Structure 1
Amino acid sequence: MSRPTPPSPQWPQSTPGAFPGAPGQTPYPASPAPAAAARNGLGVAALVLGILGFLSSPIPFVFWVGAILGLLALIFGLKGRGRVRRAEATNKGVATTGAVLGALALVLSVVGGVLTYKVATEVVKDISASADSAKALAPRDSAVYEDGLTLTVSAPVAYTPGSAATGHKPGDKAYQVTLVLENARKKAFDTGDIGVKAWVGAKDTPAGKIVDGKSGAVGEGFTGTVGPGRTVTVQVAFDTPPAAKTLTVELDPGLTYGRTRWDLPL
């Protein structure tokens, strides 16, 4: 007689997605995916650049740096706010502050530019006034510069321009002046850098320069290069009103030398 087959054991079924465990144990739920990190870099950069731009924009001579920083802050701030709207960043206030400071920096850079212009203008006026207030030399006095360059202006002598001369007005008087340049430097000097001006009375009454080729090269001034240890002499002539009492001649060898004046009685 055959024996009955015993029933097979029944195990509990595991819940899909649950952590498998022993029979009868409550399964753990699946872990959620980690949230994406906030992209707050643009907002922070906008704030830093905005502060730097705001502080540097009104400063003369560096206002352009503030303008560049302000423009970058404005761009980064607006882009940072865009990330906030797309839920990619969380620092809306920081980005907004950076954009506002950037815009203010751009406005203040205009003020800085105006201040730079005014400061530069005042500096130029002060330099000109200082040069104009320097004591004028007398005829045949020499201006000796530290590097060995020497300039001398002679006393004026009456001059009769030729028929082909230019720069002389009928009824005016003409005077010829001799200019001497001595180069005791160790290197050549380019005389093309020398500026020659003259006026009578007030500085705003210039004396006309006469160019006359009848005897030598009167009126052409300095030309060419003077070697070390060499001396060059040129003749210049000026047109003056008949009642003029003093002819002022100014020589400017270049920016590094400074201008020198001679007051020449007529």
Structure 2
Amino acid sequence: MSQYTQPPQFPQAPMPPAPARNGLGTAALILGIVGALSGLIPFLFWLAGILGLIGLILGLSAKGRVKRGEATNKGAAVAGVVLGLVSLALSVVGAVITYKAVGDAVDEINKATSGSSAAKKPAGSDKPLEKAKDGEGATGEALAAGDSAVYDDDLTVTVSEPEAWTPGEYAIGHTEGNKAYKVTVVIENAGKEKFDSALVTAEARAGKEGVQAEQIYDGKVGEPFTGTILPGKKVTAVWAFDTPADAGSLTVEVSPGFDYNAGIWDLKL
């Protein structure tokens, strides 16, 4: 019987360990950092939310790999999860701030474009005003001399009866052959807030044709309103206008500011 010689047995080398799979933890950390930084800028809330959510998911997956021994960067995975949550929180805060800012801006635009919708309808004649020659329609309704335009904030504007007046030699705005009339304008602040009178303006039209009546400046006559009117206080100014000799009426329009409807007085000469 033949003898077979077995080959010698050599010990096998141990298998090298599998490389650590640390990619998810690193990605989670990077996305968490970028997301958190984005969340510091309110209008980038959408970017912070997206990056935070992805970073949170990757961080949780990375922690699972660490538990199974497939990864070794536990710190990066935990940091990715924490920063992901921070990014999501900042995203919510940024969204609230952004939406509120946009809402406030829209409200301001609506207030500006709506003009003086807060102005009350003043008592007086319901007769509509005639249009000026340039085609611009006057707003509001005609008031009589001595009537007041009262607004929702309790600001009151009153225009007196016109008084015939002779301008001085150095008056500005008077044309020889025309007649001059002056009116007293009183602004009373019965509200609770201060009122800036610097924005008060006036213009006038004379006669049925609505001819522009130039404002006359002569010493104290024609001086504009200036300064702040405190609650409970009033200020007075005397304005004068130049009209054709045959004008039988004078339409005076006083605008307290951008947020108010102009008050309009139809005065008999």
Q: Give me the TM-score of the superposition, normalised by structure 1.
A: 0.49
Structure 1 or 2, whichever has the larger Rg, is 1
Q: Give me the TM-score of the superposition, normalised by structure 2.
A: 0.48
